[in-house]
Amino acid sequence: MKHLRDMTLTFTLTWIFWLSLISGRCLSQVVQPRVPPGQQVPCFYIFGDSLVDNGNNNGILTLARANYRPYGIDFPGGATGRFTNGRTYVDALAQLLGFPTYIAPYSRARGLELLRGANYASGAAGIREETGSNLGAHTSLNEQVANFGNTVQQLRRFFRGDNESLNSYLNKCLFFSGMGSNDYLNNYFMSDFYSTSSDYTVKAFATVLLQDYSRHLSQLYSLGARKVMVTAVGQIGCIPYQLARFHGNNSRCNEKINNAISLFNSGLKKMVQNFNGGQLPGAKFVYLDFYESSQDLSSNGTSYGFDVIDKGCCGVGRNNGQITCLPLQQPCENRQKYLFWDAFHPTELANILLAKATYSSQSYTYPINIQQLAML
């Protein structure tokens, strides 16, 4: 921890030194921020839901919170608001990209810290505005993009109004967007609370979701995003929450949900192709196939060291998935053997394995991997 604090202090002093240089120069002589040695991109901006939220929901009125034990039981900072036992996927990815510290949640990121990135993700958030409202307050994707717009306004001050230099800086950054799970879990397939399943066929719902998503991603592009990762929705028909409720004769998982998600995922991959094909000039989007990766981890669990692939390490009821992990509940002892931490979210080990696979190989990435994207 002391080593981490020392690195953070050194990093902060570097930015303070840079800002002091800027303050004494005219607009035409804006200095580009220095990137720490070994860090592959200058900044990393994250948008998403509880799979990558690292504390933005802590201070709001919602059931979608994880700032209590045993969440964070294996994380150095304890229960920070991450919905797992340790690191999230983007935590592990930031480390692979050479960031000396984790990317801060937007709710706590201030001033110069925003130059290295921010995490805008919010548990229960979706592409649609109403998604997740059954759980209480959250920050929808529309609001997350608006928050990034506010960040760009703040960064403009550091660049002394030089939009060309700011855009050049942002063009080198990585952007991650992982959305869609809640639009199915906490919207379309929750007919007691939402009318979308009666308003839209499965195909029509995927279409309107993708239209909304395309608009949000295009807005990020207009704000300076050029290197963008977007994730497929994982096999949520196979998470402990669904397994606890599903009673199928021919399948372990709820294939009705998985089939619906597959329509969205195939449309998202086509969207990536269109963006890269000239629809958003100069942009490079990478599709991360979290559906295939979650299927692989489940089907070949033992080869990754997982003995338990159908139960949460922490939870209540059938598959530890009827009620998710409760405050101060005793989790399983050997988290390394579990694919799922709770009713919805993977364990730290699963997150790390996925980060490594998408970073350096093309097993689950299209058209290139994340390391290649960072080098562009």
- CATH number, domain at 341? 3.40.50.1110
Considering the candidates 181, 183, 216, 345, report the single residue annotated as catalytic: 345
Residue 185 domain flag: yes
Residue 31 domain flag: no
Residue 4 domain flag: no
* Alpha carbon separation from 19 to 9, 33, 34, 76, 160 (Å, rounded): 15, 8, 11, 31, 10
Considering the candidates 183, 212, 296, 342, report the single residue annotated as catalytic: 342
Active-site annotation holds for 3? no
pLDDT for res 231: 98
Residue 29 domain flag: no
CB 151 within 8 A of CB 23: no
Query: Backbone dihedral region of 318: left (phi > 0), alpha (psi from -120 to 50 degrees) or beta?
Result: beta
Active-site annotation holds for 345? yes
- Counting the structural domains of the chain, the total is 1
Active-site annotation holds for 222? no
CB 52 within 8 A of CB 88: yes
pLDDT for res 366: 98
User: What's the mean per-residue pLDDT of the chain?
Assistant: 92
pLDDT for res 252: 87
What is the Cα–Cα distance from 355 to 92, expressed in whole angstroms? 6
pLDDT digits (tens, 9 = 90+) for 146-185: 999 999 999 999 999 899 999 999 999 999 999 999 999 9
Residue 22 domain flag: no
Residue 321 domain flag: yes
What is the Cα–Cα distance from 216 to 126, expressed in whole angstroms? 12
pLDDT digits (tens, 9 = 90+) for 258-274: 999 999 999 999 999 99
Residue 11 domain flag: no
Token pair of 356 as six digits: 């490594």
pLDDT for res 20: 44
Residue 8 domain flag: no
pTM: 0.91
- Nearest CA to 108 out of 77, 131, 135, 132 is that of 77
- Nearest CA to 283 out of 224, 215, 359, 232 is that of 224
Q: Which domain holds residue 85?
A: 44-375
Considering the candidates 3, 28, 50, 360, report the single residue annotated as catalytic: 50
